[in-house]
Structure 1
Amino acid sequence: MSASRTVHICVVGDEGVGKTSLITAAATETFPDHPPPVLPPAKLPADTTPEGVPVVITDTSSRPEDKQALELACQEASVIVLCFSADRPGTLRRVSSYWMPELRRLGVHVPVMLVGCKSDVRQPNSDRGLHEAVLPIVKAYPQIETCMECSAKKLQFVGEVFYYALKAVVHPMAPLYEPESQTLRPLCAKALKRIFLLCDKDKDGVLNDAELNAFQVLCFNAPLQTEELVGVKQVVAERIEQGIVNNGLSLPGFLFLHALFIERGRLETTWAVLRRFGYDNSLQLSDEVLSRVNFDHAPDQVVELTAAGRAFFRDVFERCDVDDDGVLSVREQEELFSTAPADPWASLEYEGLLAETSRKGLLSLNGFLAKWAATTAADPRRTLAYAYYLGLPDDAAADKLFAVSRPRRQERRADAPRRGLLQCYLFVPANMDATPVMEGLIAQSRPAHGSLAGPIRAAAAAVGGGDGAPTLILRSFSEEQAQVLLEGAAGAEELQRCDVAAFLFDAKQPASFQAACEHLERVATASGDQLPCLLLQANDSEASPALAERIGEACSELAIKPPTCFGLRPAAAVYQAIVQTAQQPELAIPETPSLKAARRHRQMLRRGVLYAGAGTTLALAGYFGWKLWKEHRMDAESGGSGSGSSRGGSVAGSKTGAVVVGQHDRSVLTLP
């Protein structure tokens, strides 16, 4: 956890169980004979706590009039210290009958410390009975991490109560270990496996002495002494089969060591390792790690994998394709993601994403790369996280795996580089199925592919051959989905992410063409008349002459190309046309009524500017003409009234020469 985060310890329990006395004894090392009903919150600075974090301890009252304050304190708590009285069995029974259900009702899901106060007055020889009473409660509520007894009167274990409460927050057990089965939890085992593989520099499956020492220095800033190294190996060899292989620590041995640390209460050791490799308390990579790469971009830009990024994921695939058959079997895919929290495409937003697979539905290399391209466009932080999970070293230059495209306006210049990932929104009228178009994108390179269990919402594949071939992501929108998109507050921004819009219609259903045209006009207008569009015509051989005439008229009016046609299933040329339209958008912007109106408005503005400019020019010319005429008249009047003037002009002598002034042309000559 962050060192600056304050840990809030909330002490709760029935009235009279000893909550206030416990806090007072821990803080002052004295037992209060007459404690107050409730203490004010006690604040401990970070430099006074063993874990170096600030702590606030909140006492609570069980009186009905204080219920609201109690609930608020519980909801703000980082950990709950739930007290019962060791000499009052009824207070222990209320732990399961009232307190734990109440915490659940309040939505409190933090660690709970179960503390038996007043152990000094407990009946002798009652240890067994107390243990038998507590054990079912602990099993029923996994939130309870620790159970212990204390005596405020005798100052026994009062400090330990708050020490373990603090540890339960800073070094929680729940994410790491299952006490009942005495095993590491799956997320913990996955994280430790990733760490093991990163530290296995020679990739021989074991950590040799040099690798173990490097790991020790990295995590704890100190190497292992020779006798310590021998002792660790001896313990592992005695306790677990195949824990030591070729005098090196194997993965099972590495996992066993951490389970042993946890069993012995040394959770801080395992947490130090996990945090050194970037994990937070939920055993996901922390925001600090994922903020190393800046993914900020405008809606009309896209984050895509660079050549280095594609090479990284290609290497991951080939490393896990053990049988070298070009696809990932179920076991190989499980092994590939065995160092990650989960399959990245198991979540709802990726369930409908179709990519290239084998006949048996096994993911191919092309499909694997296409899925990562689609994931990067939708959620680049997820791709970054999985790059780390799948073996990207912690000190690698992760930003080299990604690139942010230029804004679309800059890309449309003739000499500008183009993005390698294109997104096409496919709008489908009622009574038509987009599945053939989606599957066709995959089938352009390999006819055989698996099918998804649910509906296909999107498809991703490279179009064309070679490493530089663009990846096309095709997303389908039904009429209802299109309505939501166009009427939603974020509709215009969402359309900026789209590189090209395609509108499907069936030549056998003339009404579908009308629907496609209406969709095209609405989508183009909503995009600000900036989105290139094309029509896709299915069953082209079934088009009637009347429909063909309507199609020609509509395309002429909209100033777009004729529809791209196909029969039952689209061929590769359909997807090449989509890519070409995205890459040459200026030829596919529809002449919608809104665009024509905007153009007329701009023309009127230009005419107004021209007229205004001409008027201004004439006004300025008139003004300067009048000014020159006025100056001429004034000079003429002053010349006629001067001494020695004559009709033909005058000559004034001087030592240096004479100036001759022409009365009519106002020219000035200097005579030597």
Structure 2
Amino acid sequence: MKPGKAVRVCVVGDSQVGKTSLITAAATESFPDNPPPVLPATRLNADATPEGVSLIITDTSSRPEDKPALEVACLNSDVIILVYDTGNARSLKRITEVWVPELQRLGVKVPLLLVGCKSDLRPQDQNMQQVVVPVLAKCKEIESCLDCSAKNLIFVSEVFYYAVKAVVHPVAPLFDVHANNGAGALRPLCIKALHRIFAMCDTDKDGVLNDTELNDFQVQCFSAPLQPEELAGVKKVVAQKMPQGVSNNGLTLPGFLFLHALFIERGRLETTWAVLRKFGYNNELQLSDDTLGVISFQRAPDQVVELTREGVDFLEQRFAHFDRDGDGRLSPSEQDDMFACAPSRPWEGPEHGGLLVEGGVGAGGPGGLTRRGFLSLWAFTTAVDPRKTLEHCLLLGYRGDPAALFCISRTRRAERKSDAPGRAVFQVLVMGGEESGKSSLLRAVVGQGDLPSRAAAGPASGSGRGRQAAARATQSPQGITAVLQTPSSDREGGAEPGATLILRELLQRTAAEAGDALPCVLLAAKDDLGMSPEVESACADACAELAMPMPLAVSLSGGDATRLPQQLLSVLRSPEGAIPLTPSLKAARRYNQMLRRAAIYSAGGMLGALALYGLFRMQRPQVSQQGDSPPARPPARPPLGIRVVPHS
């Protein structure tokens, strides 16, 4: 439940059982003398509830004409209070016959509380337990029950306290109250979550929480240490009820689980929930969105999320830790131990169906998952669902900065313009006709060439034919992983000249649809069977037409295929020579050549025009001096002389 969100409570039951009076008494702390048939939505502020959570209480009518409004209220609620009249046995019977089946029909999955109103009218020879036990046995959806009296204001506030508690600290995800013949037991997901928390707090990895580790756990979850006498008291209680729960003066995993079961049985669910939420769990006992949303995996279609060196190192450490016998493989039981704290293995989703890796997946492998197969699985999972990888790294105990585990590759255009190392995960589409050896090739690439198809497919695959494989390049310092996938359907064709024509057409169409930028490699599978002269001639003609090298020969019965990822890596690093010369690419090249010629001619014309203009500018002053010069200026006349003649 998100902080600040109000809890929506819906009160349902037969007419005249006390629903409206119960709500009014809780809101006003007084009993209404003349309550209305149905109250409008009533809000209780957070300061009115012990949990500090506000409530929105919806009263309902049981009249047939009001059924649509009742259904909407139930579907929008966080918790439902089923009300019956303690003085009316018929109203209690209708809880099991009418109300619970109706909620099941609507698909309501919220907590249900059974509340007996008018407890002051309950017969003296009858107690609540003997009345409700048969109801609880029949309706396992009901989590708790209690009696109240709105008239005498008895246990009215407690009804809504338990309603809030059922939402904020729900019991259903943690504890099955009907297990062990009614004794109850922790649910599997709760055990897995507490197992992980125990393992993370067991810093010295000796399988026991000593006093220092228990105190650190207490401070982390509740911001206060335990006093020595409190520590001794906790261990004493556990030792009395479960002797194997204490060892070497510390708390073992069974003791840790028993302690939380004891909290839940005594109604202290808030203690266990505080621990779970401190370690990032939500009400479904999955890691919460707040925990997993610390990283944004937004990327362009031609980018891929990859593990960093720190991420790979962490996973290799986990591999070494759970490889108990040190044989370099994870057996099925060792994989079970690795993911004992996780709801499931990360590669059990539908996107992993038919995925082949070195050593197989789980029980499908010949002797267990190898280190390279293990890292290939994680590389594939990170590429298709990085959030799942983040979740399982946290479940495996990673406690550093989650952002340090991942990086996002550059775009294809940026990679091809740079000399720096590119991405570490490449996707390869394997195409070919029926019986051309695609499935055998995938098995051979991961070293399972001698296995029958049904043993090679992953556990999520519905068929025995692997349709994808993840293989790590053997000589790649960056840990390059090639993901090979076969399309769902291909045109038929085998090792015949006609099949070569079909594959040539398929290759041209695929390359053209990829914008003539997709590198392609021709493989001659089943090379150990030899290639007929007709097929070899047809391949030579096709390769000459497409300006591609002859097919790479691969023997599926030997070890050639295991080197294929490394060979593909060299092609992927220099893809220009492996792009087929399709008709569309030829047309594009002719068009580009025409544009270049036009640009050259245009540039030449512009340079010629500029040269002529320059010559014109240089010749213009000379022409002006010869024909258009102004007349010469006459010489200046001497100054007029003034002669003075003396008087006679």
Same-fold call, TM > 0.5?
Answer: yes
- Equivalent-residue separation in structure 2 for 1:633 and 1:243 (angstroms): 114
CA shift at 1:105, angstroms? 2.2
Alignment of 1:5-20 (within 5 A): 5-20=5-20
Query: Aligned in 2, Cα 1:412/1:532: closer, same or farther, shift over 3 Å?
Result: same
Alignment of 1:538-617 (within 5 A): 538-540=525-527, 542-569=530-557, 570-610=560-600
**Preserved CA contact (<8 Å) 2:427 2:483:** yes
Is 1:368–2:374 an aligned residue pair? yes
Instruction: Summarize deviations over 1:225-260 as a string: whole Å, max 9, x none.
Output: 222222111111111121111111111111111101
**Preserved CA contact (<8 Å) 2:196 2:395:** yes
Q: Match for residue 640 of structure 2?
A: none
Q: Match for residue 293 of structure 1?
A: 295
Instruction: Summarize deviations over 1:59-93 as a string: whole Å, max 9, x none.
Output: 11222222222111111111111212222222222
- Equivalent-residue separation in structure 2 for 1:62 and 1:506 (angstroms): 71
Alignment of 1:143-542 (within 5 A): 143-181=141-179, 182-357=184-359, 360-393=366-399, 396-413=400-417, 415-443=419-447, 451-452=456-457, 454-465=464-475, 467-479=477-489, 506-507=494-495, 509-540=496-527, 542=530
- Equivalent-residue separation in structure 2 for 1:588 and 1:433 (angstroms): 22
Letter in 2 for 1:190: K
Instruction: Summarize deviations over 1:134-182 as a string: whole Å, max 9, x none.
Output: 3344344443211111111111111111111111111110000011221
How many aligned positions are there?
A: 620
- Equivalent-residue separation in structure 2 for 1:567 and 1:96 (angstroms): 69
CA shift at 1:273, angstroms? 0.3
Q: Match for residue 489 of structure 1?
A: none
Q: Which stretch shows the higher mean deviation, 366-375 or 602-611?
A: 602-611
Q: Match for residue 138 of structure 1?
A: 136
Query: Aligned in 2, Cα 1:6/1:637: closer, same or farther, shift over 3 Å?
Result: farther
Q: Which stretch shows the higher mean deviation, 174-183 or 272-281?
A: 174-183
- Equivalent-residue separation in structure 2 for 1:423 and 1:319 (angstroms): 30
Q: Which stretch shows the higher mean deviation, 226-235 or 20-29?
A: 226-235
CA shift at 1:626, angstroms? 8.4
Question: For 2:213, what is the secondary structure of its paired residue?
Answer: helix
**Preserved CA contact (<8 Å) 2:497 2:538:** no
Question: For 1:300, what is the secondary structure of its paired residue?
Answer: coil
Query: Aligned in 2, Cα 1:142/1:535: closer, same or farther, shift over 3 Å?
Result: farther
Query: Aligned in 2, Cα 1:611/1:146: closer, same or farther, shift over 3 Å?
Result: farther
**Preserved CA contact (<8 Å) 1:116 1:150:** yes
Q: Which stretch shows the higher mean deviation, 607-616 or 240-249?
A: 607-616
**Preserved CA contact (<8 Å) 2:200 2:397:** yes
CA shift at 1:550, angstroms? 2.3
Q: Which stretch shows the higher mean deviation, 354-363 or 580-589?
A: 354-363
Letter in 1 for 2:243: E
CA shift at 1:624, angstroms? 8.5
CA shift at 1:505, angstroms? 6.8
Is 1:110–2:120 an aligned residue pair? no
CA shift at 1:187, angstroms? 0.5
- Equivalent-residue separation in structure 2 for 1:650 and 1:617 (angstroms): 47
Q: Which stretch shows the higher mean deviation, 588-597 or 445-454?
A: 445-454
**Preserved CA contact (<8 Å) 1:427 1:478:** no
Question: For 2:524, what is the secondary structure of its paired residue?
Answer: strand
Question: For 1:384, what is the secondary structure of its paired residue?
Answer: helix
Query: Aligned in 2, Cα 1:638/1:514: closer, same or farther, shift over 3 Å?
Result: closer
Letter in 2 for 1:555: C
**Preserved CA contact (<8 Å) 2:80 2:111:** yes
Query: Aligned in 2, Cα 1:55/1:310: closer, same or farther, shift over 3 Å?
Result: same
- Equivalent-residue separation in structure 1 for 2:188 and 2:379 (angstroms): 28
- Equivalent-residue separation in structure 2 for 1:608 and 1:115 (angstroms): 88
- Equivalent-residue separation in structure 1 for 2:504 and 2:451 (angstroms): 31
**Preserved CA contact (<8 Å) 2:519 2:575:** yes
Q: Percent identity?
A: 50
CA shift at 1:530, angstroms? 1.7
Instruction: Summarize deviations over 1:382-430 as a string: whole Å, max 9, x none.
Output: 111111111112xx12222222222222222352212222221212323
**Preserved CA contact (<8 Å) 1:3 1:52:** no
**Preserved CA contact (<8 Å) 2:441 2:561:** no
Gaps of at least 5 residues in structure 2 are 638-648
Question: For 1:318, what is the secondary structure of its paired residue?
Answer: helix
- Equivalent-residue separation in structure 1 for 2:139 and 2:587 (angstroms): 68
CA shift at 1:2, angstroms? 1.6
Query: Aligned in 2, Cα 1:612/1:50: closer, same or farther, shift over 3 Å?
Result: farther
- Equivalent-residue separation in structure 2 for 1:147 and 1:170 (angstroms): 17
Q: Which stretch shows the higher mean deviation, 1-10 or 448-457?
A: 448-457
Q: Match for residue 670 of structure 1?
A: none
**Preserved CA contact (<8 Å) 1:410 1:416:** no
Q: Which stretch shows the higher mean deviation, 590-599 or 219-228?
A: 590-599
Instruction: Summarize deviations over 1:610-657 as a string: whole Å, max 9, x none.
Output: 5555666677778888899999999999963xxxx33xx89999xxxx
CA shift at 1:215, angstroms? 0.7
- Equivalent-residue separation in structure 1 for 2:605 and 2:471 (angstroms): 59
Question: For 1:156, what is the secondary structure of its paired residue?
Answer: coil
**Preserved CA contact (<8 Å) 1:427 1:479:** no
CA shift at 1:597, angstroms? 2.6
Question: For 1:242, what is the secondary structure of its paired residue?
Answer: helix
- Equivalent-residue separation in structure 2 for 1:109 and 1:27 (angstroms): 27
Query: Aligned in 2, Cα 1:52/1:193: closer, same or farther, shift over 3 Å?
Result: same
- Equivalent-residue separation in structure 2 for 1:40 and 1:346 (angstroms): 48
Question: For 1:459, what is the secondary structure of its paired residue?
Answer: strand
Question: For 2:430, what is the secondary structure of its paired residue?
Answer: strand
- Equivalent-residue separation in structure 1 for 2:289 and 2:346 (angstroms): 18
- Equivalent-residue separation in structure 2 for 1:432 and 1:17 (angstroms): 75
Question: For 1:427, what is the secondary structure of its paired residue?
Answer: coil
Instruction: Summarize deviations over 1:319-368 as a string: whole Å, max 9, x none.
Output: 12222222223322211111111222233322311122287442222222
Q: Which stretch shows the higher mean deviation, 269-278 or 320-329?
A: 320-329
- Equivalent-residue separation in structure 2 for 1:35 and 1:639 (angstroms): 119
**Preserved CA contact (<8 Å) 1:113 1:146:** yes
Question: For 1:528, what is the secondary structure of its paired residue?
Answer: coil
**TM-score between the two structures when normalised by the length of structure 2:** 0.88
**Preserved CA contact (<8 Å) 1:198 1:391:** yes
Instruction: Summarize deviations over 1:32-77 as a string: whole Å, max 9, x none.
Output: 1111121111233445443333431111122222222211111111
**TM-score between the two structures when normalised by the length of structure 1:** 0.85
Query: Aligned in 2, Cα 1:445/1:293: closer, same or farther, shift over 3 Å?
Result: farther
- Equivalent-residue separation in structure 1 for 2:100 and 2:597 (angstroms): 78
Query: Aligned in 2, Cα 1:399/1:446: closer, same or farther, shift over 3 Å?
Result: farther
- Equivalent-residue separation in structure 1 for 2:259 and 2:635 (angstroms): 118
- Equivalent-residue separation in structure 2 for 1:505 and 1:17 (angstroms): 76
Question: For 2:482, what is the secondary structure of its paired residue?
Answer: strand
Query: Aligned in 2, Cα 1:518/1:140: closer, same or farther, shift over 3 Å?
Result: farther
Gaps of at least 5 residues in structure 1 are 483-503, 654-672
- Equivalent-residue separation in structure 2 for 1:68 and 1:650 (angstroms): 118
Q: Which stretch shows the higher mean deviation, 259-268 or 87-96?
A: 87-96
